[in-house]
Structure 1
């Protein structure tokens, strides 16, 4: 098998702002694993908060290229991950791209959908559509531009309740809010009461991950469920989240791909935690792979490709929040060019 990759720069429809930074062009790498006839694709984005850079991703993929070349083509993806993961402990984003590429290749080689290896149900939650932080009028315009049944509202700039109150006046859609660790415990508890009356379903990562004492107070006193994001990056974090949160948000790039995500899902179910999976502004390569996990989830945030001005692949699509998996094997993603 041959492992290679390409860098892409994907302009966004609108500047995407969270509490920490703004992105106008999303840089991403797509890894490809091929035997010359069948190819599988995986993706990892550049992300300053998680120290994911073009240089780091490129070096990581190149480091394990000869290892991948020496592996048997029928190796199960879980065994593949066990070989590659120890070499990429400092770069889980690159590990994710390679893991997904191999899952896609493995499923295509066996002429099966990727999801058929871990679920037999076609039931799937709807995806939310994210409204990044902006001035209120621009956030209103984004909602009016993209009517959707569920919106994820990014908050953390000081006028958060005014934002949600204003947006509620123009749509009856369900809201979820994501503070990206920008609040205090007192704010989160107080805001939860206001947000519940505004038809908000849950609050994602209200406090910094280090504030575990604060999160214990929030979980006890919040009238809305709280979901971990920054506090739950890898498998070992799931158990620690049980006393602090009602659920977790799994990001494939943070945990290292589909293989560890499946383990996190199993661990979360055992801990009676609700499960969400989210994205990081990937193209349809990453989103098509992420969406294969949908039958195992309670909530889904898979709108990354919808936020792009132009995609680099075809794959899963969404109509009014509902998933339409691409036809074909693997994840169903097909590159426009590589």
Structure 2
């Protein structure tokens, strides 16, 4: 089995701001596993908040070749623990595991979701994300993407309720808000009634993950809106820790180590009567296509990452105003574009 690493710079359509900073170009690493003429693809992006650079991710994957032979005869879930022990880098592990699942399903002649025993039923819509900006610019971003049934609004400013109120004047769509750890319990409780009246469905990660458990529990018990964990739910063991502090969990493949643990986390949350969500980073159609196959297990989806970039080096899943259409290809359905290496807008090696 052969592994090839492709580094990509993904320029954004607009500067994307959350409470922690602004991004204009997202660096991404695509892992390609090839065996007997078939290729599987996985992707992960670098992330300053979690301390992963493309250099650290790539260096973790260099030398992993002896492990790859295990994927020839065993499903990825059986190799995951060995890969985790060797890599010691969750972002690198995520891309490798994603590529392995993709290749395994393609060798079976199945889409990913069928290789996991799932059926494509009761599929939720994806939201489209509006990053932090001056209110007129946020309105313009919303108007550039009309017709979505759900918009996710990034908050964490001094005028959060005013932002939501201003956007509400331009659409009757469902709103979800994500404060990215920027609020205190008092701020969250002060905001929640107004946000509820403005048609907000839930609040994602309002408090810092380091906030005392008592703060999380107080908000959980008093909030009129569901509270969804993101930064508090990184790995499989975190699902149980979120019980009694969050109404649901947002699973992101890069943080948990790939599709293998994501499947376990979502099933565990559902068994514990928690709402389930899969989110994304700003990434190409490689990562989005793989995550989309988890949708039969979801209550909520936020898979717009490839729509935020100006040039996508891959194609796969199509998300049209929130409706998800999978590729007809096996596996995740993602494929690098034939012109990607020659594009002046996407630098890949």
- TM-score, normalised by the number of residues in structure 1: 0.97
Question: Are 1:77 and 1:102, in contact at CA under 8 Å, matched by a contact in 2?
Answer: yes
Q: Which structure 2 residues correspond to residues 126-145 of structure 1 after superposition, within 5 A?
A: 126-145=125-144
* Alignment match, 1:77: 76
* Alignment match, 1:110: 108
Question: Are 1:185 and 1:214, in contact at CA under 8 Å, matched by a contact in 2?
Answer: yes
1:198 aligns with 2:207: no
Question: Are 1:4 and 1:65, in contact at CA under 8 Å, matched by a contact in 2?
Answer: no
The Cα shift of 1:129 comes to 0.2
* Alignment match, 2:299: 298
Question: Are 1:129 and 1:151, in contact at CA under 8 Å, matched by a contact in 2?
Answer: yes
1:175 aligns with 2:175: yes
Question: Are 2:267 and 2:297, in contact at CA under 8 Å, matched by a contact in 1?
Answer: no
Q: Give distance in 2, aligned partners of 1:186 and 1:63.
A: 49
Q: Give distance in 1, aligned partners of 2:34 and 2:321.
A: 35
Question: Are 1:326 and 1:333, in contact at CA under 8 Å, matched by a contact in 2?
Answer: yes
Larger mean CA deviation between 244-253 and 207-216 belongs to 207-216
Larger mean CA deviation between 79-88 and 24-33 belongs to 79-88
* Alignment match, 2:14: 14
The Cα shift of 1:326 comes to 0.7
* Alignment match, 1:320: 321
Q: Give distance in 1, aligned partners of 2:244 and 2:136.
A: 38
Q: Give distance in 2, aligned partners of 1:281 and 1:27.
A: 9
Aligned residues: 336
* Alignment match, 1:121: 120
Q: Give distance in 1, aligned partners of 2:335 and 2:71.
A: 24
Q: Give distance in 2, aligned partners of 1:103 and 1:266.
A: 18
- TM-score, normalised by the number of residues in structure 2: 0.94
Q: Give distance in 1, aligned partners of 2:271 and 2:298.
A: 14
Gaps of 5+ in 1: none
The Cα shift of 1:71 comes to 2.2
Q: Give distance in 2, aligned partners of 1:168 and 1:81.
A: 44
Superposed CA deviations along residues 33-75 of structure 1, whole A, max 9, x for unmatched, are 111400000000011101110110110111312321x325131
Larger mean CA deviation between 54-63 and 240-249 belongs to 54-63
**Aligned CA distance change for structure 1 residues 33 and 207 (closer, same or farther; 3 Å):** same
Q: Give distance in 2, aligned partners of 1:74 and 1:113.
A: 19
* Alignment match, 2:48: 48
Larger mean CA deviation between 116-125 and 204-213 belongs to 116-125
Q: Give distance in 1, aligned partners of 2:162 and 2:119.
A: 44
